Amino acid sequence: MNIFRFKSISGTLVPAMIAAMTAMSQPAPLAAQKSATIKIYPERAKDTIPKEIYGHFAEHLGSCIYGGLWVGENSGIPNTQGYRTDVLNALKELEIPVLRWPGGCFADEYHWMDGIGPKDKRPKMVNNNWGGTVEDNSFGTHEFLNLCEMLGCEPYISGNVGSGTVEELAKWVEYMTSDGDSPMANLRRRNGRDKAWKVKYLGVGNESWGCGGDMRPEYYADLYRRYAVYCRNYDGNRLYKVASGASDYDYNWTEVLMKNIGRRMNGLSLHYYTVKGWSGSKGAATAFDKDDYYWTIGKCLEIEDVIRRHCEIMDRYDRNRQTGLLVDEWGTWWDEEPGTVRGHLYQQNSLRDAFVASLTLDVFHKYVPRVRMANIAQIVNVLQSMILTSDRGEMALTPTYHVFNMYKVHQDALCLPFTLICDEMDVRDNRTIPMLSATASRDKNGVIHLSLSNIDADNTQTVSVEIAGLKTPKITNGTILTSANLTDHNTFEKPRTVTPEHFTAASVSNGILQVKIPAKSIIMLELKAREINSMYRFDSMSLTGHRKTIIAYLFRIPK
């Protein structure tokens, strides 16, 4: 897929667009009316949005596992075989495709044999990475893989390379996936599971440049090759092996791994957090001003440039894109909530976080088929979580949860290319952000879903949408997520402050969809339309308002 982003018509344009855009070369004065134009090209679609982009991450960190996902069979909190029933049901609603476990930094200190067998005989361990908490290992391999079966999702195991051994990880793979008369398979049977699990995704270490061993990329590349040899496929199970990739701007790490590992890896990970910095205050999750909000949007959207540059490196070594890029940690990182345990990374989640979720997912969609998976950090009670729980049995769904629930219609749908013209804004740290973000997709039943995020904190935007080759689109459903304030969030006392509502401010006139999107809101529209024969072209588009940004998401046209 080719992706072009043009600001105020600077730079080189594809010839087909020059005539349509020449008139926009000079910024227009600020106007009160905000507008945007989108044209969707369904017949140019060729790539599917992998459902795994909507993946999640559950680390042994704070109360993500213990108290979040797991309370044990004897808990007074309603549970299903030890899993919190309310959390389990909420996660089923999200249709989670893949869940990464047990870390994170925890993975490279986790020894899996401590988490199998009778729970009362499992040794305790100190979680040195996250607050020095003592864990009883009651949630281990069986508990995680059984949870994945209950949720209907693929497990993604993050293996211990930092403090473990090749033998240890090889035996774990055998324990989980072998159905033969082998030592580890028989040990699993003695622990109550006769049939092997299906485990597709295996991470060979985590953040090996940092908490996973402080390695150089050359050393890790050789280590990966060794581990990958001994992590074998058993009885029809086929591992998708993921190398521990770079942290955001470390392009050299990707270069070295692509050169020295190459096709020996199925996937390469990438971590990117929307964070102010790794020392000092990261800022409060719910106490911020408008300037902070726009800075967050700018930092969030910078993930696109990071992904693009890593993809360019990967393309030089892998032109056929056989190796996937997996953004298996992403999201916001704020200060821990006052009064919570230090090192447990419990943070609230506001409407601002919902925008980080929607905009980041929009970026991921543009980079398929190279981006094959993403895992937001994390699923319960940690960082940009889906769900918050208390030890009193309370639960609240976060604004981010609602974005994932709205966006799940894009899973495994055909990604529709489009052009978008909208206002833009300069923000702190020399970043420029668009005021609108979008994704369009068509599902297996032919239904088109259009998600639109009005980033503008103050102004309603009127968006004109044309779907080339389709006549008279019919709006069959609409949902909006917004609130009175950007800082609004859901609590146990007020769990519905930020919650989706039915959206009706959309209509069709002369085949053009007109959408009136309130300030700071995210919407999802469901559309049905009748196809017509049409030659696709770039039509001239008139612009009003202040300086515009033109974004075209176009696929290569086959020769």
Is 207 noted as a catalytic residue in this protein?
yes
Q: Which residues pair with 437 in a beta bridge?
A: 453
How many residues are listed for the chain in this entry?
A: 559
Identity of residue 384: Q
- What residue has token string 């219609």? 409
Q: Collect all residues with Cβ–Cβ distance below 8 Å to 284 and sequence separation of at least 6.
A: 334, 335
Q: Say if residues 142 and 148 touch (Cβ distance below 8 Å).
A: no
Q: Using alpha carbons, select from 107, 112, 209, 114 the residue that is nearest to residue 158.
A: 107
CA distance 552 to 40: 10
- How far apart are alpha carbons 325 and 321 in whole angstroms? 9
State yes or no: is 329 an active-site residue: yes
Could you give the C-alpha distances from 535 to 41, 439, 469, 484, 532, in angstroms and in order?
10, 22, 8, 44, 10
| Beta carbons within 10 angstroms of residue 280's beta carbon | 8
* CA 387 to chain CA mean position, Å: 15
CA distances from 553 to 8, 40, 76, 269, 292 (A): 17, 9, 51, 24, 28
3-state SS of 10-35?
A: CCCCCHHHHHHHHHHCCCCCCCCCCE
Active-site entry in 329, 336, 424, 466: 329
The counts of H helices and E strands in the chain are 11, 28
Contact between 136 and 142 (Cβ < 8 Å): no
How many Cα atoms sit within 13 Å of 396 on the Cβ side? 24
Residue keyed to tokens 């981010």: 400
Reference 217, options 173, 169, 265; nearest CA is: 265
Find the catalytic residue in 59, 143, 154, 207.
207
Cβ within 8 Å of residue 496, ≥6 positions away: 490
Retrieve residue 201's tokens: 């995704």
- Residue 191, classed as helix, strand or coil, is coil
Q: What are phi and psi of 463, to 5 degrees?
A: -115, 125
Q: Of the candidates 147, 140, 146, which has an alpha carbon nearest to the alpha carbon of residue 112?
A: 140
Q: Report the catalytic residues.
A: 207, 329
